[in-house]
């Protein structure tokens, strides 16, 4: 028999017992839909975790700190031999897979714009690598290497300014939560890009005289600065920091220290940066780069550390959900095997006649395998359609419900990628073929004479 004859006979045989065939297919439909929907929930959970971490910063960035050791007196002291300096920056750039390196100098400056005052964390960086580290200006521009006292502000910095001379809380901005659709963005109390801006390392700068205690040093002269840009909202620490040229920040700190008679901190680590950021070209290289930096003696942290532990939990959850769905598919496989076995008993005489007429024994096996495969394939296709329908309902219902209580939360509770859809249909068809193997072998091994005599 040729292939078309086998397919035609298999289809007609299934249609003889429509009710039994439909019930068997229904078992495969439920099993396929169960396993696809369960895995789609796990995939959506994994995507949600990644998006949540991405909102905190880039998953490709590694933060590097000095190595610290604990001594018997309980004091935390810097480790020996490793320093965050230009040599460290050069060493990190040589690591394979590193896209960019950015040294950081952290400080806390008092800023005054008119009557408004704010204490702002200021980070000195290299302007040339800002774009590579995902800095984007919403208003104005980013820093240039030629900038001296230019500052780029995070989206939320302007809301930290207040009037210290106002009575009570009149000079304070109301609490504002970015990203909340129920709360419109208020106007910031200061225009940081057009107004005159003065900065100082003196924490009492800009405060009313009555609130300043007697100091045993002369406060440094303030420095004039200029705001050149406001960063786009990132929903991470960038929103609350200000950034300026690293060299300019170091000059301000050094000038204020000379003015007040303070000596630079000397702990055996000259020219030390507060931290260094290292960006990997690919997220899959983060772990290896991070390990190489650790082997140099530095401490590191990255969002990939959190992502790795979260993905382990996600994989465990997906395995549990997949196993629950697989139970339904296992029951369906037993149903297919039972249906095919019953079909053999009912068609024993027919099988004997086919053999006597000279049909190849392998054709009989193929006939039953095709029937079982059709049940699996048909159930898989319908089950996949049911999965998409269920996923659509879950996403429409739950996502709408979640956004009411968690603005900016997950948009999808269930995700069915094309790979999962194709694999589900193939797997269902394969389950059908495997389930029909033993019944097909039994039909192939039946004696022709005994089969014809069977009543």
Q: Residue 410 has what pLDDT?
A: 56
Beta pairing class for 275-280 and 242-245: unpaired
| Strand boundaries in 66-181, DSSP class E | 68-70, 76-78, 98-113, 116-125, 137-140, 150-153
Per-residue pLDDT tens over the stretch 403-440: 555 544 556 778 888 998 999 899 888 988 888 888 77
**How many CA atoms does the CB half-sphere of 10 hold within 13 Å?**
23
Residue with tokens 């001594």: 71
Instruction: Count Cβ atoms within 10 A of the Cβ of residue 357 and give its class: 0-12 exposed, 13-18 middle, 19 or more buried.
Output: exposed
pLDDT by 10s per residue, the chain, length 455:
566 766 777 777 777 778 878 888 888 898 888 888 888 888 888 777 777 666 666 778 899 988 754 344 444 444 456 788 888 999 999 999 999 999 999 999 999 988 889 999 999 999 999 989 989 999 999 999 888 889 999 988 988 898 887 765 445 555 555 555 555 667 788 888 887 899 998 888 888 766 666 666 677 889 999 999 999 888 788 889 999 999 999 999 988 888 776 665 544 445 578 899 999 988 888 889 999 998 888 888 887 777 777 777 777 877 887 788 788 888 888 888 888 777 776 666 666 666 666 666 676 777 778 888 888 888 899 999 999 999 888 888 776 666 555 544 556 778 888 998 999 899 888 988 888 888 777 766 666 555 555 55
**Per-residue pLDDT at 70:** 39
For the beta carbon of residue 418, count every other beta carbon within 10 angstroms.
7
Q: Is 156 exposed, middle or buried (0-12, 13-18, 19+ CB in 10 A)?
A: middle
Nearest to 318 by CA among 36, 75, 25: 36
Written as one string, the DSSP assignment of 289-303 is HHHHHHHTT-EEEEH
Distance (Å, rounded) from C-alpha 44 to C-alpha 52? 12
pLDDT for the residue 264: 58
As a whole number of angstroms, the distance between CA 387 and CA 380 comes to 10
Question: How confident is the model at residue 267, as a pLDDT?
Answer: 47
Instruction: Kindly report whether the global pTM for this prediction surpasses the value 0.95.
Output: no
Is residue 219 within 8 Å of 213, Cβ to Cβ?
no
Length of the chain equals 455
Strands (E) located in 158-274: 197-200, 223-231, 242-245
At 265 the pLDDT is: 54
Q: How far is CA 318 from CA 201, 223, 332, in A?
A: 52, 57, 21
């Amino acid at each position: 028999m040729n292939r078309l004859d086998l397919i035609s006979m298999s289809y007609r045989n299934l249609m003889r017992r429509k009710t039994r065939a439909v019930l068997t297919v229904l078992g495969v439909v439920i099993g396929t839909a169960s396993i696809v929907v369960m895995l789609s929930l796990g995939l959506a959970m994994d995507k949600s975790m990644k998006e949540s971490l991405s909102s905190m910063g880039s998953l490709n960035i590694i933060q590097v700190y000095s190595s610290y050791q604990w001594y018997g007196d309980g004091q935390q002291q810097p480790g020996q031999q490793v320093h965050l300096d230009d040599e460290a920056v050069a060493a990190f750039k040589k690591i394979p897979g590193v896209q960019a390196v950015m040294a950081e100098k952290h400080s806390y400056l008092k800023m005054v714009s008119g009557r408004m005052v704010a204490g702002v964390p200021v980070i000195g960086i290299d302007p040339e690598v800002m774009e590579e580290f995902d800095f984007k200006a919403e208003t104005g521009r980013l820093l240039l290497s030629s900038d001296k006292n230019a500052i780029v502000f995070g989206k939320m910095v302007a809301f930290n300014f207040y009037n210290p001379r106002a009575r009570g809380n009149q000079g304070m901005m109301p609490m504002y939560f970015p990203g909340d659709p129920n709360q419109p963005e208020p106007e910031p109390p200061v225009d940081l890009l057009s107004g005159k801006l003065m900065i100082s390392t003196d924490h009492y700068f800009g405060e009313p005289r009555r609130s300043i205690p007697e100091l045993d040093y002369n406060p440094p002269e303030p420095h004039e600065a200029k705001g050149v840009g406001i960063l786009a909202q990132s929903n991470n620490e960038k929103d609350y920091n200000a950034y300026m040229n690293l060299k300019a920040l170091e000059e301000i700190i050094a000038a204020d220290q000379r003015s007040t008679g303070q000596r630079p901190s000397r702990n055996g680590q000259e020219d030390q940066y507060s931290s260094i950021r290292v960006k990997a070209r690919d997220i899959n290289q983060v772990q290896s780069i991070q390990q190489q930096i650790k082997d140099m003696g530095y401490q590191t942290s990255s969002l990939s550390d959190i992502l790795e532990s979260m993905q382990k939990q996600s994989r465990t959850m997906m395995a549990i959900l997949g196993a629950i769905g697989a139970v339904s598919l296992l029951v369906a496989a037993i149903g297919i095997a039972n249906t095919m076995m019953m079909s053999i008993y009912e068609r024993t005489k027919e099988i004997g006649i086919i053999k006597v007429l000279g049909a190849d024994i392998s054709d009989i096996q193929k006939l039953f395998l095709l029937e079982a495969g059709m049940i699996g394939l048909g159930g898989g296709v319908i089950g996949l359609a049911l999965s998409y329908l269920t996923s659509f309902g879950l996403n429409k219902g739950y996502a709408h419900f979640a956004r009411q209580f968690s603005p900016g939360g997950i948009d999808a509770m269930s995700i069915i990628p094309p790979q999962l859809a194709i694999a589900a249909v193939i797997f269902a068809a394969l389950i059908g073929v495997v389930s029909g193997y033993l019944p097909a072998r039994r039909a192939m091994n039946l004696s022709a004479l005994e089969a014809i005599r069977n009543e």
